[in-house]
A and B are shown apart, each in its own frame.
Chain A
């Protein structure tokens, strides 16, 4: 096996590990569109990073995080419904990112790899970043698991019982921004939400508890990465979309199981 394939596999598995549990929260809290918006803003993060000559790993996490905080502020002001706000921000961020990239003096950025991922170009340095971030995310999820589940069920009830709802929500946004930043390399900004949601939705059909669903989603996401890379290797298809196609196939397969309640 060649190095680049091994790196691709390890990178994909690292991202899949955290995409599973985070994807569960995206499904439980109905944040799919929210996740999409943050993912699209990661593209803006790339163009801003290149323009201002800042490390891209920082800007692709920072811009979605700023976007998330901005969304919370706008939603509390109650100007428009969250759905409309997300629609505006999501596509404005994507379009602004694309426009800024086209304005860059020398084309150093491969647009296709940003939009759909470039798993096969993962370097050893990328691996360090991915596993560093994934470890931080796993740690945060374990530490905050109980309050996260509690605010997902009912925020006011959790608040009365002493959970600091605002802080936990902000932490979840931070986690989301971090996962988006590392998932971008694997499936690109347009397919990140798929990597989050599809394994979680598949896991739901065979899970009885939140923990079971989170672990199963992780395992399914890892399996889809292996399957997608295999498909890409043998059929010479783009890696990111192949991973998502495999995730979708597993989901369809899961429909054969009776949903556990």
Chain B
């Protein structure tokens, strides 16, 4: 299994209306690796995803995609106006795919029986699967999944995470996943990035959940990945370090 960086971010900054949202983000997303992005609301997760997708440009810093990068994207939530008559199969075909490829993808996510159903009639879990099917449809080598289990019950969440793990393995693609529940994705995650406008900590799940920065944000109970957090964040996410005790860790290069 070859492992090369699919996309590299180097000191990326982004602000909206002069309010910094992301500061000094450097990371590499590798082929065949699942990276989970966690962070509180307003941490800039969605902004980071949009930068990586190329939907917005950074204010400064470099985002370098691999020459063979092909992204499959699963958006956070999707609502299609009921006035648009469109079947699940047709929804997939919008990604420039053949009828047979659509059926194959629906088969892989286990909802081939819903191909002819109007997309608006799908349940929360079924819709997420349809979105996942569209993401894998064009045989991508990089999947970007923005909160893939939103609106799905707990059993369904486990099944969906398991499916994502299996699909990424069989397609040998890299995965970037935004998630709130690290305890569920832990086992399938190679790298965790804890974001709060800057990268607070990153590493293997076991490391990150023991990291005080992680515990600080998410609490001890869900902590499985860890790092040592010696500073506090203001409500805006800036580092508060009045005692000057914060030591910059490896890969930690915020102000």
Q: Which residues of A line the B interface, CB within 8 A?
A: 27-30, 146, 149-150, 152-154, 156-161, 200-201, 204, 207-210, 212-213, 260-261
Contacts and interface: CB of A to CB of B under 8 A. Distances in A.
Interface residues of B, number: 26
Contacts of A156: 50, 53, 55, 73, 75
A27 B80 CA distance: 12
A207 B118 CA distance: 12
A261 B116 CA distance: 11
A163 B96 CA distance: 11
Contacts of A27: 81, 83
Nearest to B144: A160
A146 B94 contact: yes
B27 to A, nearest CB: 19
Nearest to A147: B94
Interface string B107-144: 00000000000101100000000000010001000001
A160 B83 contact: no
Contacts of A261: 85, 118, 120-121
Interface in B73-121: 73, 75, 78, 80-81, 83-87, 90-91, 94-96, 118, 120-121
Contacts of B48: none
B208 interface: no
Contact of A150 (B55, B94, B121): B94
A149 B94 contact: yes
Contact of B83 (A146, A158, A161, A201): A201
B7 to A, nearest CB: 13
A154 B85 contact: no
Given A160-B71, A161-B138, A261-B121, A154 B78 contact: yes
B91 A161 contact: no
Residue of A153, A159, A204 most packed against chain B (CB within 10 A) = A153
Contacts of A152: 84
Given A159-B55, A161-B138, A153 B83 contact: no
B75 A157 contact: yes
Given A27-B83, A161-B73, A209-B90, 16 more contacts: A28-B81, A146-B96, A149-B94, A153-B86, A156-B50, A156-B53, A156-B55, A156-B73, A159-B55, A160-B71, A200-B83, A210-B85, A210-B90, A212-B85, A260-B85, A261-B120
A157 B55 contact: no
Contacts of B144: 160
15 contacts: A146-B94, A153-B80, A154-B80, A158-B94, A159-B53, A159-B54, A160-B54, A160-B55, A160-B73, A161-B95, A161-B96, A161-B138, A204-B85, A208-B85, A261-B85
